Chain A
Amino acid sequence: AQSVTQPDIHITVSEGASLELRCNYSYGATPYLFWYVQSPGQGLQLLLKYFSGDTLVQGIKGFEAEFKRSQSSFNLRKPSVHWSDAAEYFCAVGADGGTSYGKLTFGQGTILTVHP
């Protein structure tokens, strides 16, 4: 069964600083990986996804993530954080095949606080 671990429950950064949110996954085949963001009271918005090709993926809002198969990781990065980036971030792995086709397994989320 697939699983996702986000080791950091809460991260605080200063506005303008760089950001890296960690994600480790467990999956028996080639994973499909996603990062979502959730602002308070809102649904989840897709930031970026990886399923093949270039291991460095660019997303919306200036985010990027790098897939490292050897480390089973898919960390999210942003070079300069804006106050509007404060939100909760979820990493997810997608299942493929069988009756779980399309089901996503999510990590517990990382809450990002941005100080002015």
Chain B
Amino acid sequence: NAGVTQTPKFRILKIGQSMTLQCTQDMNHNYMYWYRQDPGMGLKLIYYSVGAGITDKGEVPNGYNVSRSTTEDFPLRLELAAPSQTSVYFCASSYGDLRYEQYFGPGTRLTVT
């Protein structure tokens, strides 16, 4: 089991560029999440999904989009990158809702300049 994998590990974007952060899990989890973590801060939920074809906004969704066409994959799309999106992005998955632990990917470090 690879668990949760994320690509790329690092990326530098110019302002206004777009990119997709990839996330894949092999644990057959229904629930998947995208977070961002700014220096010295906790994780903020961007989007989440409770199953293929179902996504919903989290606390900080502006500037991002997601899709969930399969159970395994949950890509995060950044359109028109801005310096405020410089952060570490973590994807996570869990077996179910509130009671279940989350398994995190190793993160993507994104810098927008």
Q: Do A and B bind each other?
A: no
